[in-house]
Structure formats: C-alpha cells, structure tokens
Amino acid sequence: MNKHSIRYVLILVAAIAAAALIVVRFDGVCEILSSVCQALQPLAVGAVMAYLLNFIAASLESRWFPRSTNVFVTKSRRPICVILAIAAVTLALVALTTFVGSEFKSVGSAIINGVSEGATMASQAIANLPGAEKSMILNDATWSSLGEKALAAIGGTDQALRIVAQTSGEVAHVTLSILLGMIFALYLLLDKDRVHAGAMRLATLIPSDEVRERVLHACAITNDCFSRFIRGQCIEAVILGTLCAIGGTILHFPYAASIGLIVGVTSLIPFAGAWIGGIMGAAMILSQDPLQAVQFIIFLIILQQIEGHLIYPNVVGQSVGLPSIWVFVAVIAGGSLFGLLGVLLGVPVISTVRTLLMEHFAKMDEENESAKCS
C-alpha cells in the first residue's frame, strides 16, 4: 500500500469517527455550535455592515481627488471616505427617525384617544343593556381579579420578573453585538486591501490550481450578483416610495410624505416589505379618517400589483440578470425555506447559481462543438 492510499484510509477513518462522535454526542455538538455562532455573531454583523458601507465608501474614493499624487491626499483618502460614508448613513437614519418619529407621536396620541373613546362608548353601551347592573364585568373588583389570574397564568411575579430580565439580557446582547460589529466593520473598511490580500493568500491553501480558480471565480460572481441586487433593490425602494408619496398627495391622504418614506424604506425587504410599511401607513391614516384608511389600502393593493409585476421584476430582475418568473420563485421559495433571511437573500443566491450553471453549460456546449469539429 502506497502513501496516498494510507492517507486516504486515515482520512476516511477520521471522517467516520467524527461522524460517529457527532451522532453519539449530538446535543453537546449543538451546544458547542450554538456557542461558536454566538461568539462569531459580532464578526458576522460587522462583515455585513462593512460590505454595505463599502458601496458608499468605494464610490466616494473614486471621486475624492482621483488624479492627485499628493502624499497626504492618497493616505487620507480612505479614512476620510469611510468617515463620510458612516456619517451619511448615520445622518440618514437620524433624519428618518426624527421625521417619522414626530409623525408617530401625533398618530400614537390620536390612536390612544380613539381607543379610549371607543372603550368608553362600549362601556356605556354595555351599561345601558337590560340586566347590566347585575353583571360584574364593570366592577373594579372583577378587573382586579382578572389581572391577578393573568399574572398567575404566566407563573406569578417571579416568573414575570425572570421574563423581563431575560428580555433585557437579550436586548443587551444584541446591542453589544451591534457595537462590536460596528468596530469590526470600521477595521475592515480601513484595511480592506490587507483583508483582500489575506483572503487571496488563504486561497493558495487549495492544492489544485483548477479548483482554486473555480472557487475564486465563484466568489467573484457571487459578489457581482449581490452588489447588483443591492443597487437594484435601493432603486426599486426609491421608486416605490416616491410613487406612494405622490399618489397619497394626489388622493389627499394625511401623512402622505411620511407614509411614502416608510413604504420606501420597508420595501428594501423584497415583496413583503411594502405591505409592512402599508400596514403602518394605514394605522397612521386610521387615526385621522377610517374611510381614507380603507381607500389607502385599496390604493396600496393597486400600487403593489404594479410594483410586483412591473417595477420589481424589471428593475431588480434586470439588475441581477434574472427573468421575472425566477425573481418570484426565488422570493417565495427562499421565504418558505428560510423565512425573512431567505426572502432577503433568495434573489442574489438564485442569480449566482443560475450564472454559474449557465457558464458551466456554455462551456460544455463549446467542448461538444470542439469534439464534433475534430
């Protein structure tokens, strides 16, 4: 038996032993994997932030005195552009929060007043019913008893406090992950050339040159598909939000600009996002005029049909090179299998797979033609 055969036998034995260990200690392996995922969560968040911010930073770099050979300009170009990109995104989020938040304050107070008035009218109507004076439903003691029963149903005060503490811990963990992710994203953006060089050096560990070239080519195709998808999604969000704001203004809906902004931002989530923004917009209009809220829902359904059949497939589908039917299949299948993450990533993933398969089939056709000619 030669050295290569011995190596393959050892690798096979190690793989079988690892598989047997996973089966026997499956719960322990799951706990280890969960701990590793939680530890790597800030890095994953930072990598996503860096990838998204790099679109703005790279665009600014290409325009920040591109022909200058001054040492100070060349060395400060990247830090300045990264800071400007972060500042632009931060200002946009602050402006969005301030603009929409001021509207939600008045909307929230209107909704609370409406609910309070509705509850008062309902209580008066119940009180005027025959035999209502014998009912205990309006008695304060009855409501107190119901509150005690509800508290007992969730396990008493101690259990409620534990739920609050657990929720606070989860919120603190998510906040810490986001903060650490922002720091990691900043390092990635400032030192992305070295990160790219390290990734290329890591690729040299692949022994076969042909396999290495295929892996690098697949990574390039993936990056290209995801980049074009993000650009197309942003363009589609701007178009949909603008149409919603213009339509709301023409139809004299209250909060037309705010609702258009909300619908535009939430439509970054493919297909379902516009409905989320629409529900929020309907709630805002409902605080002013219930009839107009119904009219807005009808308007949004019509606009959503136009968006789903014309705008989204043509803008996003053309940006990633997918036919309309494939865009629809990617969103539906991705959402069914992986939830919100599948909805967000379904289109670029399908586009990447389709591009690689088309290249593979084209190469096979060329080889077949060459074989026939020879």
pLDDT at residue 112 is higher than 70: no
pLDDT at residue 136 is higher than 50: no
Q: Which range, of 146-150, 211-215, 227-231, 241-245, averages the lowest pLDDT?
A: 146-150
Residue showing tokens 């014998």:
134
pLDDT tens figures, 206-225: 877 888 888 888 888 888 88
Domain ranges of the chain: 42-112+155-205, 212-374
Q: Residue 141 has what pLDDT?
A: 52
What is the pLDDT averaged over residues 287-294?
82
pLDDT tens figures, 138-193: 455 555 565 556 556 555 555 656 666 677 777 777 788 888 888 888 888 888 88
pLDDT at residue 114 is higher than 60: no
Q: Residue 312 has what pLDDT?
A: 66
Residue 176 CB partners (closer than 8 Å, separation 6+): 42
pLDDT band (50, 70, 90) for residue 71: confident
Dist. CA 341–CA 69, nearest whole Å? 44
